[in-house]
A and B are shown apart, each in its own frame.
Chain A
């Protein structure tokens, strides 16, 4: 059968049928999710707080207070120093480890690569709490051990300081850097490094002039990524920064909401400041990654990375790996476990062993909110991951495959939540649902809205990169054979997209289960989630119960990660 040639020319042309409706539906949903919070946040920041049932009045004071106050300068400085410091710490640690495991013959490197996912499992809030128990000036274990060992009069470290905050946050992000840099090292032809070495350059010079410089785009993007994370993180600034009196934007927003009367307007004004910073970071990030093609390190040429012989230094490298695992996993998990087994805090000693008890574990489960939090967290993360992946599969298809006018707008809308740090998202959604007459504040539904909105960009990225990699000839074949769009999408696009969907889904599940920054503003009794319960245990002084819950959480997340790794292998096999 000869089809008229021109009907094939613009393939998959847009028609007024299922895809149109879908586009409108998806567009409306994405628009609702992303534009409303932005609008209400900005709108709300022009009002004074509502007190005694009297609505706030229009004001510019919030912006004056947020931008022109003298204390803002120190908040800005703290935020920048904290983010930059975090970036540096995470980068040095992560890249160093990546180099050791990818390019040297250090013992234990294979084992480490296999274990490298484990540090990612410990949620930020537990990691932060455990480091307080390690580095607090009076009770921190590391301080106590060093004082005994070196006969010091004063504790060498104080976690309640800017360097303390930077250390904890930087360490927490180092596994991400490790993964990203490992990938970069793998895709780079080592012949370049070999030539440098053979031409007489030293190991250090080679690393700096060749390895690092060739990876400039990757490194810059990792820098920006870390810097953005540093700006928007909430756990460390709230748990360590607030008691230490070191304020960054996220903790300022938190305290504005927590004051009486709740100052949503001031929080909104601070939020806009933070959003300007993150938008600038994202713009820079987009620019850097766009220019990445100039540095093509992946070529068609086959190569096998050459291993650098470190000689006797390889044992030092192995020691670095062991030390890293100790500070990243062993010590934090140990303090959590130790605390979970005590009636109240006692530093580890033989005498303390006699006081060990298991009673904290049943106590945690006697509280109805614990089981509810587990159910809610699991349900929310699975639901938001599923919704996001389905929604972004459609949106990405529209953006990548169709030629609808305005599709770029859809793309931008779906990526826009990137500029919302989690705390800002929380504030924005309070505004939306205290203003709109949809009574979901304090319920599981507002949390679902928050997670779906906030993690939409991650789904979008997974789906669109997945779609770009799939040639459209298969869809064209279905189209020509007369399959309706629904069938083409369901039986061809989605199955082919499965690896991307699965990867994106897993990622969203993990990040939503750990989400704290927006949940802390939006939850309510009956709609508890795990991260909020842990934060609550901390705030109310129930360290032992917190640690018991933390130990159980780490163990089950570990089991989950192992199972999903197995599953992943089977899917890809």
Chain B
């Protein structure tokens, strides 16, 4: 080995060694500072939060809520607190959770808020990346709409309903109950969202194993069209690529219908409700702004704004718009923590029965 190569090797090793210290120094926002802000209960809480947020000046929300709604929502918040520059990172719930977890492992802390399905939040909590918080707004929410340990509060419900393309299918023909989906005429025409394990899990819990398994086994013989993303699937129903889909969040067809798109929806009972919650990552770089946002979204104003955008609010006294979005039908919601503990099994069933069997 020449002297040059030896020197190069030494340089390489030195490089490896000197890159170690920054971790010890920690680029992290002090997690205990976040905890302090999050659990402050004094009378001047609002003033304290506003003062802190003024210094922070920014807010980053990670959410699975579509840009068409999450953006106006953030804009409403910025109107109330013009000194905060709010931003939204939106992707599918699974992707947002994966991104946040990977970022935390890479010591990069960007998210101030994580809003998404209870399941995706539970993944973050499972990794110990969540921070319990106090908000006076939680009092207006039903008991099953908040975490007993204070890590999350419900913001909205997504209802999995049947949507169909009105140019290709008449309302009379469209399935009225789950078993109608098994009819031979729907073969190759049913769109299914690729990560709706919760749909299978909730129906299995409700119907019991034998009836549930029988239904999904027969459904899997229908040459299902698997697509990732509920918004995408709704658009594919509008386009006619999937003439019907039992896994659309009902607000999406409702919004599209209002805009004149050839789509309609109806509940298949029991409707599977997917709880969406708001949470605080433990190293949020702007904790004051984050708490202001949590308060805002859970306030009657914030919930009404959500309803006006077509979403189904979780607040006990705020109605959906139109109210039929969550009224007049039976719905079931699984406890996200329970779901996640059995996730491996449900995911295996889902992959084997629905995804691979096409």
A residues apposed to B, CB below 8 Å: 20, 23-24, 27-28, 31-32, 35, 50-53, 136-139, 242-243, 245, 257-258, 260-262, 343-345, 355, 366-368, 404-406, 409, 430, 433-434, 436-443, 524-526, 536, 538-543
Interface string of B1-31 (1 = CB under 8 A from A): 1101101100110011001111110010000
Considering the complex, which residues of chain B in the window 230-289 have a beta carbon less than 8 Å from any beta carbon of chain A? 230-236, 238-243, 256, 259-261
Report the count of interface residues on B (CB-CB < 8 A).
72
Contact: B241 with A139, CB < 8 Å? yes
Choose among B5, B111, B256 the residue with the greatest number of A CB atoms under 10 Å from its CB: B5
In the complex, how many angstroms separate the beta carbon of B239 from the nearest chain A beta carbon?
4
In this assembly, does B90 line the interface, its C-beta being within 8 Å of a C-beta of chain A?
A: yes
In the complex, how many angstroms separate the beta carbon of A543 from the nearest chain B beta carbon?
6
Give complex CA distance A368, B86 in Å.
11
28 residue pairs of the A-B complex, CB under 8 angstroms, read A52-B128, A53-B128, A138-B239, A138-B241, A138-B243, A243-B194, A243-B227, A245-B226, A260-B98, A261-B101, A262-B101, A343-B259, A344-B239, A344-B261, A345-B239, A367-B67, A368-B87, A404-B4, A434-B102, A434-B106, A436-B16, A439-B22, A439-B23, A439-B27, A439-B106, A525-B60, A526-B110, A539-B91
Give complex CA distance A42, B234 in Å.
41
B residues apposed to A, CB below 8 Å: 1-2, 4-5, 7-8, 11-12, 15-16, 19-24, 27, 60, 62, 66-67, 71, 87, 89-92, 94-95, 97-99, 101-103, 105-108, 110-111, 123, 126-128, 194, 225-236, 238-243, 256, 259-261, 343, 355-356, 358
Contact: B102 with A441, CB < 8 Å? yes
A406: chain B residues within 8 A (beta carbon) = 1-2, 4-5
B242: chain A residues within 8 A (beta carbon) = 138
Contact: B91 with A536, CB < 8 Å? yes
In the complex, how many angstroms separate the beta carbon of B105 from the nearest chain A beta carbon?
5
Give complex CA distance A527, B35 in Å.
28
With both beta carbons as reference points, the residue of chain A lying nearest to B21 in the complex is identified as A437
The 10 closest A-B pairs by CB, nearest first: A437-B23, A541-B232, A441-B106, A541-B231, A345-B239, A525-B89, A405-B2, A439-B107, A28-B11, A27-B8
Contact: B232 with A539, CB < 8 Å? yes
In the complex, how many angstroms separate the beta carbon of B2 from the nearest chain A beta carbon?
4
In the complex, how many angstroms separate the beta carbon of A30 from the nearest chain B beta carbon?
10
Give complex CA distance A524, B104 in Å.
12
Contact: B22 with A539, CB < 8 Å? no
In the complex, how many angstroms separate the beta carbon of A280 from the nearest chain B beta carbon?
28
Q: A139-B241, A406-B4 are in contact. Are A260 and B108 (CB under 8 A)?
A: no
Give complex CA distance A32, B11 in Å.
10
A433: chain B residues within 8 A (beta carbon) = 106
In the complex, how many angstroms separate the beta carbon of B185 from the nearest chain A beta carbon?
15
Contact: A541 with B229, CB < 8 Å? yes
Contact: A24 with B358, CB < 8 Å? no
Give complex CA distance A406, B8 in Å.
11
Q: Which of A343, A430, A536 is in CB contact (< 8 Å) with B102?
A: A430
Q: A24-B7, A52-B126 are in contact. Are A258 and B95 (CB under 8 A)?
A: yes
In the complex, how many angstroms separate the beta carbon of B317 from the nearest chain A beta carbon?
31
With both beta carbons as reference points, the residue of chain A lying nearest to B343 in the complex is identified as A260
Q: A441-B108, A524-B108, A540-B91 are in contact. Are A343 and B19 (CB under 8 A)?
A: no
Q: A51-B127, A441-B103, A525-B60 are in contact. Are A405 and B19 (CB under 8 A)?
A: no
Give complex CA distance A538, B12 in Å.
42
Contact: B106 with A540, CB < 8 Å? no
In the complex, how many angstroms separate the beta carbon of B291 from the nearest chain A beta carbon?
20
Give complex CA distance A403, B344 in Å.
59
Give complex CA distance A524, B2 in Å.
42
B66: chain A residues within 8 A (beta carbon) = 540
